[in-house]
A = this chain, B = another copy of it.
Amino acid sequence: MIDFFTESHSAQVVNSRMGPVVEPRLRMVMESLIKHLHVFVKDIELKQEEWDSAIEFLTQCGQMCSANRQEFILLSDILGVSMLVDAINHRRPPQATENTVLGPFHVDNAPIREYGAAISLDGKGESCLFEGTVKDLFGQPIEGATLDVWSDNADGFYDVQQTGIQPTWNNRGRFVTAADGKYRFQGIKPVSYPIPDDGPVGQLLARLGRHPWRPAHMHFLLTAPGYERIVTHTFVNDDPYLTSDTVFGVKESLIQNFAPTPTESTKWKAQFDFVMHQEASE
């Protein structure tokens, strides 16, 4: 044990101070955090005034947080950390549908709707029929899978961002598959929207020469007894922000084909099949 702090052994000195009785996972996480944090500071030789700015930035993020705003989640999102944590914790067989971030706009207990029902209730936007099949790894349809779906409206806002303006449960619903594994609902073609950029994270994005936009997407949360939960989006295939999602949520396999349907009552049709895999413990 080194008693006194030295630049060369800084991380070892800090880590050596932990007591003998520390929860093992916490010890592992903190030892790694301190090691990498010190390597970072040394790599760039962080200047005193840069450290001042970092303290000020973190403070501003914390003070921006409220019941309706989580600036540290936004920070994690734009640094790719949210997607990295999601990826690490949801490794799947290659055939299974990939995960992406849940996002801040999911609401529990959306109404259960009938096969083919509408979720768009405000009359805005370009109508789109979403349909497909929920299957297992062997291509067999899954009966009793629940698809919890949500998207923004044509103005780029979720209902919970505009309570009193949008109808309750606008562009939300839950659908349960029958024996054929099929789902179908009438929504709108989602539109791209910026993450809240009027705080310190927005200022950082601007200084990094990055825009705050997310490409248009439909959220899906799939559950089925015995299968691993899937939290994902499908992305509109002609969106200009597909390759520059500010939160890095896009995976190539999640880009959904939106086909115009000039002869039908719906303007667009979006076909996507989901593949679930069984839980590891089953």
Contacts and interface: CB of A to CB of B under 8 A. Distances in A.
Given A73-B55, A84-B38, A32 B44 contact: yes
A59 B59 contact: no
Contacts of A14: 79-80, 248
Contacts of A89: 45, 47-48
Interface string A135-165: 0000000000000000000000000000000
A208 B22 contact: yes
Contact of A84 (B3, B42, B59, B86): B42
30 contacts: A3-B243, A4-B243, A4-B251, A5-B87, A5-B248, A5-B251, A10-B84, A13-B248, A14-B248, A27-B208, A28-B44, A30-B208, A34-B79, A34-B80, A37-B40, A37-B81, A41-B81, A41-B84, A41-B85, A41-B88, A45-B89, A48-B89, A55-B72, A58-B58, A58-B72, A59-B65, A59-B70, A62-B62, A62-B63, A62-B64
A58 B65 CA distance: 10
Contacts of A248: 5, 10, 13-14
- Each complex incorporates copies of this chain amounting to 2
A44 B26 CA distance: 10
A278 to B, nearest CB: 20
A250 interface: yes
A209 B59 contact: no
Contacts of A198: none
A174 B47 CA distance: 28
Contacts of A72: 55, 58-59, 62
Give the size range of A's interface with the partner. Answer: 35 or more
B45 A88 contact: yes
A4 to B, nearest CB: 5
Contacts of A270: none
A61 interface: yes
What 4 pairs between A and B have smallest CB-CB spacing? A62-B62, A19-B209, A14-B80, A7-B87
Contacts of A38: 80-81, 84
Contacts of A45: 88-89
A85 B40 contact: no
Given A14-B248, A55-B72, A80-B10, A40 B32 contact: yes
